[in-house]
Amino acid sequence: MIDRLEKEVDMLERHLQVLKMVIENEPIGIVKMSNETGYPHHKVRYSLRVLEEENLIEPSSQGAITTERTQEFVDELDDKLDEIGDKLAEMRIDSAAELEN
């Protein structure tokens, strides 16, 4: 159960790292991103596809570039991550209290 969540978080981290590279270096291609991140080409390509489906990037002849939606997403990202972190913190089970009951 937790393993699946951990894998999703790892994938989200990769998607966000790829997005950050596009924001900072646009236009940027798969080969450069793969070389700089150490992720294999197929994983970078998958992240780019996910980001494109979310309308956060778009392809150009020189490589991936941001869209009009990118800045709005970035502006909201920290709040969303904080909300998720709070929700995860609420899920903690105090083992000592639970074992006493």
pLDDT digits (tens, 9 = 90+) for 8-19: 999 999 999 999
* pLDDT over 90, % of the chain: 84
Q: Which residues contact 60 (CB under 8 A, 6 or more apart)?
A: 27
- The three-class DSSP label of residue 25 is helix
CATH number 1.10.10.10 given to 1-91: yes
The mean per-residue pLDDT over the stretch 6-33 comes to 96
Q: 73: pLDDT confidence band, cut at 50, 70 and 90?
A: very high
pTM of the model: 0.86
Say whether pLDDT at 33 is over 90: yes
Cα separation values, 77 from 12, 59, 100, Å: 12, 22, 39
Q: 92: pLDDT confidence band, cut at 50, 70 and 90?
A: confident
The mean per-residue pLDDT over the stretch 84-97 comes to 82
CA distance 3 to 17: 21
Cα separation values, 101 from 9, 89, 91, 97, Å: 33, 21, 18, 7
Q: What is the pLDDT of residue 96?
A: 54
Domain boundaries, the chain: 1-91
CA distance 28 to 21: 8
